[in-house]
Structure 1
């Protein structure tokens, strides 16, 4: 059983920007953790954005932001 993450999805997550609200235009990795916790308590949006926000919360909880920042650096959006 292969449990390795889909690299394209990680690159997409690293470069995805918040599409609305107070933090519109910020990379999801740059969102404050309390903002993501608020979504968890009040309900993540449906669809892709909700999945990405949930994923980013797990990344932050586990202290993996440096991994996402490394992906941003090593795999620039314009090279996708």
Structure 2
């Protein structure tokens, strides 16, 4: 019998995506959550996202935005920034 493990989402990835700025490239300095979809699609098509935490944030934002649920990021961004005031 094959056992499929459930993927447990890590909310910290979303928090990091709304507080971390892109460290390189055309959109350097832009929050990861604010990167345009065309840029994420371009990165994905050029061989994928970089390894590690940055790649996890980029791929998560890519999946959220390309599936039409980008408002989730707006809500998290609003709550995180309000909590920091």
| TM-score between the two structures when normalised by the length of structure 1 | 0.79
Note the residue ranges of structure 2 that are not aligned, 5 or more in a row.
none
Task: Look up the SS of the partner of 2:62 in the other structure.
Answer: helix
Task: Look up the SS of the partner of 2:18 in the other structure.
Answer: helix
Query: Which of 54, 59, 69 in structure 2 is aligned with 1:54?
Result: 59
Number of residue-to-residue matches in the alignment:
79
Matched, 1:10 2:33: no
| TM-score between the two structures when normalised by the length of structure 2 | 0.75
CA RMSD of aligned residues (A): 2.2
Task: Look up the SS of the partner of 1:17 in the other structure.
Answer: coil
Task: Look up the SS of the partner of 1:75 in the other structure.
Answer: helix
Note the residue ranges of structure 1 that are not aligned, 5 or more in a row.
none
Q: How does 1:1-80 map to 2 (within 5 A)?
A: 5-43=9-47, 44-76=49-81, 79=84
